[in-house]
Amino acid sequence: MVITNSYKNRRGVLNNIVVLNNDKEKPWLTLGDFNSIKSQTEKRGGRPVDHSACREFEEWIDVCEFMELNVTGGGFT
């Protein structure tokens, strides 16, 4: 699944993941780079953070009951 760089265009894909999550009968795994951030601390430089997009992304994570895995190494790629 490819998610576009435009947050508004990404909503449809994220909503489809919510539907898949609601229909699950067994544990499943979702991983990847969603090209979204939950807060200013996840970003360095560039354009200002869209705080409403951050809130919406964080709510999406909560609705899907996702958990973030701990990573090692550099915080930014």
Percent of the chain at pLDDT exceeding 90: 4
pLDDT at position 3 is 58
What is the 3-class SS of the chain, one letter each residue? CCCCCCHHHHHHHHHHHHHHHHCCCCCCCCCCCCCCCCCHHHCCCCCCCCHHHHHHHHHHHHHCCCCCCCCCCCCCC
Which one is predicted more confidently, 27 or 58? 58
Separation CA 54–CA 41 (nearest Å): 11
pLDDT at position 5 is 63
The string of pLDDT tens digits covering residues 22-57 is 877 778 788 777 778 888 888 888 888 889 889 988
- Return the domain boundaries, the chain: 10-64
Query: What's the pTM value of the predicted model, to 2 decimals?
Result: 0.70
